[in-house]
Amino acid sequence: MRAVRKCERKHTAGFTLLELVIAISILGLVVLMMADGVQFAGAVWERGSKAHAKIEDELVGRNAFRRYVSQALPLSVGRTRLTRSPVAFVGERHQMRFVAPPPDHIEDGALRLFDLRIETSNDTSRLVMQTRPLQPDLSDFDQDANAHESLLQSDFADAVFSYFRVNLNQQGGEWFSEWKEQPDLPSLVKLTFEQRAADRTVPSVVFVKIHRSQER
């Protein structure tokens, strides 16, 4: 009887080699799964952070676009008493030039010539803004190498500007792909982006109302 009890205590005193191997294997699998989970969570966090930063950059750039375009001024080019000369605003599908107050970081208060354009390279486009002090000759809308350049938005497929004229005699109005040699500013400016999403492009539209479009 005593021999049987000693044998039972001997068998229950610890783990067998097979049990230890199984336990270590299970522990290794758990650690491996946890490591993969942490790595996956880190990758998701990094992608989420990049997406959040991109959205913030887009919002900042689009808000700047709205602010400067909405402040466009109805200045005339070569105005005389006998003729109603064109306003200092040139709009095309991929470029827009106008006169407005200076950006916030410029403290001299002098009016600026703004040049907004869509630049495309290697199937990727970006929205660029150039500003320079307004010259006495308002017809000088050529690009200036000394102009201050800012990047408003990048990494999109394409974008186009369009311009809206309100019909004062009838209800509604009409959109135009160009705005040149016009006596007034457009009432609205629309910027249509083609954003990349997986294997397709998704349109994204920004509307801007020009506050002083009817003033001359």
| pLDDT > 50? residue 82 | no
Starting from the edge strand earliest in sequence, which strands make up the sheet with 124-133, in order?
A: 89-91, 95-100, 112-121, 124-133, 148-156
DSSP label at 7? H
The model's pLDDT over 104-156, given as tens digits with 9 standing for 90+, comes to 777 777 888 899 999 998 888 999 999 888 876 555 555 565 678 889 998 88
pLDDT at 45: 67
pLDDT at 81: 47
| pLDDT > 50? residue 164 | yes
Structure-token match 């909405």, residue found: 70
| pLDDT > 80? residue 4 | no
Q: For the full predicted model, state whether its pTM sits above 0.75.
A: no
pLDDT at 11: 52
Kindly list the domain boundaries of the chain, sorted by start residue: 57-209
DSSP assignment string, 185-201? --SEEEEEEEEEETTEE
| pLDDT > 80? residue 69 | yes
| pLDDT > 80? residue 216 | no
CA 216/CA 79 separation, integer angstroms: 11
